[in-house]
Structure 1
């Protein structure tokens, strides 16, 4: 029976031998990409096509790199091969670094979020807390007591808090379009940092809390 659309397929070769489907897919994508551009070079330069192995096609394209750089499709060549190679690298060398949001940045006038970064060699504690929009707002482990005191003071004094569109959407189950509509209709106070927009939490709560 054919698998349903979107169904995860486990690939096996013989009894008891299983393959990493992501690795197989990444290699297939890379091979298809190299094959397409190798055939183009062979056809347009009227030369023999390489063997269909990944190594042979990569060497063939490397040998014709100068010609490809002058070709009208040079940008597409670079983009497609780069994307396919990056996908293969992610499978071969997966990053085990984990990140998760722990709260709003405590620095004045900063609308960013503090993100805990857990490195592969660390089992329990993150190595640091860093702001997702201001890299200089970083809190290594030895400053966490200071950070805790600042958060406590801000909470006690009713410190301002700003929320992103995504945070408002997730917290209240709204579509992003509805968030923008409510913000406009109710004149939520807003601030921008680059392309990211933040809304004043008190205004949000007054409308949808």
Structure 2
């Protein structure tokens, strides 16, 4: 059986596990991500409400003033449910499984139970990327890192665009949802952040080479 390289964005080419589309490390990573998503999703609920919530009175890093309903957090939570439901729907359609209840814990558990089949399919790389994006967004929602997402400024990845991307989320006027924009107006949804960052890093490496 011919072994193909893992389609994920590795620094070096890594062969996929025999019979799978992803390498062993990526399969393990996506499994771990699926197992922690329900807890992170539950924790993010506390960041929707304007009520102050401080589990550690001495911690001030990453704290935010909440005097209104955080629509951006609601968007993230909704998008996560949509993504998990979409992938679960593919499994149900292809394997004839019983659809899980429409909740993040049930959907994540269902995808974990069918992970062996999913990671052997051609779109497994997209699945792993989207699951990793979910975890990244949830962690950023729970404890924003000013030196991570908001601190990155790069040239736009769109061919011929001279604008710059400042990866701080903005509210889109037409939808009210948060997105990432370049100075010339190109925009990406938050769920596309991981793919966008890969493009940014690839562009940076080609310039440095």
TM-score (norm 2): 0.39
Query: Highest Rg: 1 or 2?
Result: 1
Relative contact order, higher structure (CA 8 A, sep 6+) = 2
TM-score (norm 1): 0.39
